[in-house]
Amino acid sequence: MDAIKFVQEQSSVANDLPAFRSGDNISVSYKIVEGDKERIQIFKGDVIKISGFEGYKTFTVRKMSSGVGVERIFPMGNPNIVEIVINKRGKVRRSKLYYLRDLVGKKARIKERKFLKN
C-alpha cells in the first residue's frame, strides 16, 4: 500500500498555485518549448471548468481572440505552468460555465465578486 502512495506522490508535481474557482479571470504563464528555444506565453481568460481530483486536476480557460472563442485545458500539476495570476474574482452560481460558449458581447461578461473590508 505504501508503494502505491509513493508512486502517486512522485508522479504528481506540487505547484504553488493560488486558489481560484470557476468564473475567475486568470492569466496563466505557460512555458513553451520549440526545438531548443524556450519562451513563456501568457494565456488570459475566464475559468469555465475545474475537474478531476487531487493531483490529477485540470482547469479549462476560455478567452476571445479576434472574435473567436479559444479554450485551453491545463493540468494543475504540470511543471510547464510558471505562474497563475488572478485578475478578477467572478460571481457565478455554477461550477461548469458552458453556457458562456453561446453568449456574445455584454451578455458573456461575468460579474465581479466584491469583498467587504472591515
Q: Full-prediction pTM beyond 0.85?
A: no
Helix (H, G, I), strand (E, B) or coil at 45: strand
**Residue 30, C-beta contacts closer than 8 angstroms, at least 6 positions apart:** 40, 41, 42, 43, 74, 80, 81, 82
Assigned C-alpha cell, 88? 478578477
Instruction: Dump pLDDT digits (tens) for 65-102.
Output: 888 889 999 998 888 899 999 999 999 999 999 999 99
Instruction: Identify whether the C-beta of residue 61 lies closer than 8 Å to the C-beta of residue 71.
Output: yes
